[in-house]
Amino acid sequence: MFASVWYGHFHSPLGLLRAGLVTVFGLTISACSTTTPADPVTLEPAIAPPSVALVLGGGGAKGFAHVGVIKALEENGIKPTMVVGTSVGSLIGSLYASGYTPAQLEQLALTTSDSQLTDFTISNQGFVEGIKLKNFINNKVNAKAIEAFPISFAAVAAEKHTLKKAVFTTGDAGLAVQASCSVPNIFIAPRIPEKVGKKYVDGGVVSLVPVDSARDLGADIVIAVDVTTAQNNGATVNNPLTIRSLSDFWGFLETNIVSPATNQRTSSMRRERDRADIVITPNMGHISSIDTRQRRHLIEAGSQATTPHISAIKQLIQEKFKSKYATL
């Protein structure tokens, strides 16, 4: 059957005519559907926006001002691509980098009690264990590792025995913050990795406002926040007697910025801070109290200190973007 059909279509004169028409029609369609190759399009290389690091320094209770700085930056459309923190700066910075909004940070700042963060123990290495702090952070960031944060994050600490600076950019966020906040002789220094690693103490021992660490991590622009310096007379206003009770977690953190530091160390830290592109120094006078009302004052002080720098920050970002474009 198939043979007769084939024969009928292609061996009769009518079949040959049909075959010819089909062939011509097919060639016509083929010719019509053939498109002329488009001229090659030269695509401009994508320009990455400048990397903007927000560097949050240590300073105990005054660290609540960091929340106000973050709030003011975001209200003006400025969102850092990197957060680097020491001590209380690492605590607040880790939460922000993990995805907390300024409003959520403010709520946490106003409602978190010392008892949620402070666990006492009897030891010749210190009297605050730090496990509560580690668990608090890991609970709030949903146990995400640092490298999984939507904003790049680094916590600065110091090796206990060598006082060599350590910058943690991966791994257990709570453990890194615990290390960064472990004031010597008050907190028991944690090991990283746990149980087998080296011991680490508060980053404020070596880098109170870790500007250089942000540069080392590739920041194009560094916005540093120093909460240890009052604007009046440029004097340091820290006092070890700001601890008001044995449950004063924030006061404990504040003791690491008083002067076991030598003048040379203080001068070195000040020079590091001043290597930032923008330095924000909230004017908090002698505020050390941490009741809810004072926390609001500290947050507001951070916002107020940031607002005058907004135009300069935006200009820096624009200039850095243009300079990147010019090098292509």
**Which of 98, 180, 182, 202 is an active site residue?**
202
Classify 188 as helix, strand or coil.
coil
Alpha helices by DSSP H, listed for 36-194, are: 65-75, 88-97, 102-111, 131-140, 173-180
Separation of alpha carbons 9 and 273, rounded Å = 90
Cα torsion 147, 193, 125, 211: sign? negative
CA 60 to chain centre: 19
Tokens of 80: 């850092």
- Is 39 a residue of the active site? no
Tokens of 73: 């930056």
Alpha helices by DSSP H, listed for the chain, are: 2-10, 13-33, 65-75, 88-97, 102-111, 131-140, 173-180, 211-216, 249-254, 263-274, 292-306, 310-326
- CA-CA distances (angstroms) from residue 310 to 229, 268, 321? 20, 27, 17
SS3 sequence of 22-52? HHHHHHHHHHHHCCCCCCCCCCCCCCCCCCE
Please give the helix or strand (H or E) that residue 185 lies within, else none.
none
Separation of alpha carbons 79 and 324, rounded Å = 19
- Is 87 a residue of the active site? yes
Report the catalytic residues: 87, 202
